[in-house]
Copies of this chain bind each other. A is one copy, B any other.
Amino acid sequence: MTPRPRKTVTDRRLAGPVRIVGTGLLGTSIGLALTARGVDVSLADTSPSSVALAVDYGAGRRAADGDAPELIVVCVPPDVTAATVAAELAAFPDALVTDVASVKAGPLAELIAADADVSRYIGSHPMAGRERSGAISARADIFIGRPWVIAGHDGISYRRAAAVEQLALDLGAIPLEMSTEEHDRNVALVSHVPQVVASLLATRLTDAPEAAVSLAGQGLRDTTRIASSDPELWVQILSANSGAVVDVLRKYRDDVDSLLAALEDPDARGSRRAIAEALAGGNAGVARIPGKHGQSARFAQLVVIVNDTPGQLARLLTDIGEAGINMEDLRLEHSPGAQIGLAEISVLPEAEERLATELTARGWRISELSA
């Protein structure tokens, strides 16, 4: 089995040329991916040294007088997205303009208010990039397999917007269409409020005693992982989508208040039920999150004990591969001070028993924690 070969330059949809404004993580990554596919990419940024860096990385060439882009991709921070899109629409009267900001309704409203030609603008939002930033972290493949929202509106024709969908497909992303308001409500729910919740939970640990954090398990690690995100970027995102975030966060706060009231008097009539329903609501909610390949079904998990030595995990996965079983997911768990770890292997439920048999026969110690 060899790694997947790079796509050749011939299997692209977008003709180009493409102009990219803003050479941070996303702009540079888009430039790298398009350049690798043979598209003529020109790069612009308010910082000349940032453009020079992106050119050095191979994301495209420096923008020049006479450029006639088919598509302009604005990849600047949310705060300045609308103004930059307006300037690009004015400077390039034949180009389609899109942006990649994490909020979509505000910039469109600003553009309409400023009388910009939105018949040539359609916003988009690649769900990629995570907590990292800067051209130095850019890679052509960060969009592969990720959703890429295209936020349609009534001022642009379907045909005119086609290049943005081609862009998403060329970069390996999965285009999803929704309105700007729908997008903002959706990301408030699945991205912005989770960020707030994780950050505020992690904040409680700042003055925790050492003995407390020494008890931290995988649950706490998972629940707070995204709290390490960049505050400056998130101030812009949360401010720009404050309306939708407030709507979700208020309901969440009301739920916290209700649970607090029950916990303040846990023996009062109705308190146990209120606590149970809070937990049951969580069960129902987490079941809504799709797994791999869009499936909602849960996988079966087998937990295998592995030594903390190079090669041990590779041998385990080789054994799984030789058994012809497709692993759906894999997680490692370690505890402070432990020289061994647990590998949690997710497989389709029908493969669970065979996997257990095969691994046991090969001498592995299985700790099947799932019922």
Structural contact, B137 and A368, CB atoms closer than 8 A: yes
Structural contact, A141 and B259, CB atoms closer than 8 A: no
Cα–Cα, bound, A210→B345 (Å): 27
Q: Does A162 contact B (CB under 8 A)?
A: no
Structural contact, A365 and B199, CB atoms closer than 8 A: no
Residue from the list B250, B252, B276 in contact with A235, Cβ < 8 A: B276
Q: Does A142 contact B (CB under 8 A)?
A: yes
Of residues 56 through 102 on chain A, the ones whose CB sits less than 8 Å from some CB of chain B are: none
Q: Does A248 contact B (CB under 8 A)?
A: yes
Q: Does A309 contact B (CB under 8 A)?
A: yes
B-contact bits for A242-259, CB 8 A (1 contact / 0 none): 100110111111011101
Residue from the list B281, B293, B317, B335 in contact with A334, Cβ < 8 A: B293
Of residues 129 through 159 on chain A, the ones whose CB sits less than 8 Å from some CB of chain B are: 130, 132-134, 136-137, 139, 141-142, 144-147, 149
Q: Does A48 contact B (CB under 8 A)?
A: no
Structural contact, A290 and B213, CB atoms closer than 8 A: yes
Most chain B CB inside 10 Å of its own CB: which residue of A2, A132, A216: A216
Structural contact, A309 and B369, CB atoms closer than 8 A: no
Q: Does A105 contact B (CB under 8 A)?
A: no
Structural contact, A189 and B176, CB atoms closer than 8 A: no
CB distance from A342 to the nearest CB of B (A): 8
**Given A256-B253, A307-B1: A223 in contact with B198 (beta carbons within 8 A):** yes
Which one, A12-20, A38-46, A116-124, A225-233, is touching chain B?
A225-233
Q: Does A348 contact B (CB under 8 A)?
A: no
**Given A227-B283, A228-B282, A325-B310: A364 in contact with B215 (beta carbons within 8 A):** no
Cα–Cα, bound, A204→B89 (Å): 39
Structural contact, B212 and A201, CB atoms closer than 8 A: no
Total identical chains: 2
Cα–Cα, bound, A19→B97 (Å): 73
Q: Does A220 contact B (CB under 8 A)?
A: yes
**Given A142-B369, A145-B335, A293-B337: A190 in contact with B217 (beta carbons within 8 A):** yes
Residue from the list B6, B239, B320 in contact with A314, Cβ < 8 A: B320
**Given A219-B191, A253-B256, A263-B245: A224 in contact with B321 (beta carbons within 8 A):** no
CB distance from A253 to the nearest CB of B (A): 5
CB distance from A306 to the nearest CB of B (A): 8
* Residues of B with C-beta under 8 A to A139: 367-369
Structural contact, B275 and A134, CB atoms closer than 8 A: no
* Residues of B with C-beta under 8 A to A294: 214, 336-337
* Residues of B with C-beta under 8 A to A212: 185-186, 189-190
Structural contact, A224 and B282, CB atoms closer than 8 A: yes
Q: Does A269 contact B (CB under 8 A)?
A: no
Q: Can you list 7 contacts pairing A with B, beta carbon distance less than 8 Å?
A: A1-B309, A2-B363, A4-B307, A139-B368, A147-B335, A194-B201, A313-B321
